[in-house]
Chains A and B, each alone.
Chain A
Amino acid sequence: MDWNATLEFARGPFFTAALFVFVGGLTYRLVRVLTLGWSRDRVPSAGSKAGGVAKSYGKGLIIWPFVPWVKQTFAGNAVTLIAGGIFHLGLFAIIIFGAPHMLAWKSMLGFGWPTLPLPIIDWLAAAAIAAMVALAINRVANPLLRKLSGPAEALNWLFVFLPMLTGYMTTHHLLFRYEVIYSLHVLAVDVMLIWIPFSRISHFVFYFFSRTIHGAQFGKRAVTP
């Protein structure tokens, strides 16, 4: 098999197609939700909606176990919160501040930015991969999460896990020749991009709706969200 050609395909036309599906699909979902109709909230406010929204985003980030209002939630969902937190932190740090990723962004955007040293990125990647494994085990072991999970949840996990695993293997030249594993990494990213609009991984878009609504509704009542 000609892996150089595969790589060219994965980075070229297939990536463009994947990006097209990703952007087009998410735009479609966004437009569909936006055009469903938004009735005006005619209830007179007792507090500040804007203030509630600001607090809502702030509190959304403060999910550390020692925070008083998180404690109880944390006790019952330690794996979800710890592993979920590590996974998200690792994921965003790597795709933004990992040197090879920054270069990929640079080639698309035309400008770059400082990156994190490889050892840090490497540990974050290992931690994020371990966190994903923990999340998968938890999803199967916990009766409620098992109830909430179907093929879609399994595919979500798989299509995010593969780019991470192959990325890690690419950096460490594990098992495969470099151009092979690098091609697999890019292919996995392409597949993930295509899958996102069909899945709940798209929560990164709708997060901004629900957090805003939450904050506004509590702010309106002069209650801390």
Chain B
Amino acid sequence: MAKEKPGAVEIKTFATHHVITQPNPLRGVLRRIPPDIDHDDPVARAEQALADLSGEFKQWMTIEADRLSAAHATVLRHGFSHETREELFRAAHDIKGDAATFGFPSAGAAAESLCRIIEHAPDLDQVPAELITHHINAIQAIVRERTKLDTAVMASALSRQLRGIADEFLVKVNHDRPEHLEAILAPSIAPAE
């Protein structure tokens, strides 16, 4: 979808690298508008559209949580292989990424803790089975019980407790793996709630 016919590409050649500059091909989609006549707010419009969509979020979250439980059931039946590990990780990773958007931040936090176990445990077969099961059960419970008024605080406390136990385990089993230890202890760059 051409906006503006791009001009020639300029290439500056140096001993170790080239610097390639082309006139901005997307310049034509930018409009300069004086602030006093700019009444359009695309971000507010998008936030409203998300709010309009939110009626579906509970169902979507249930589907995601059930996918995670199914992946866990496969692990319990067949053990950890490359495929079963990947599916469990992807299901947890998706919840980590989208649960807060769907209104389930504590489920996202518990899923993040599970992702860290899968990523950083040196041998998944040596991870206490209950540690993984507790994460799965917590996510299911948070999703199922969300409509009850007193569950938000409890869900937050539960996910924090799981994270604490998981981190303690990961620090212990990675004491001789500095690159993992560094990643485990590094702060998250995910936007705050």
* A and B interact physically: no
Give me the interface of A with B, judged by CB distance under 8 Å. none
Please list the residues of chain B having a beta carbon within 8 angstroms of any beta carbon in chain A.
none
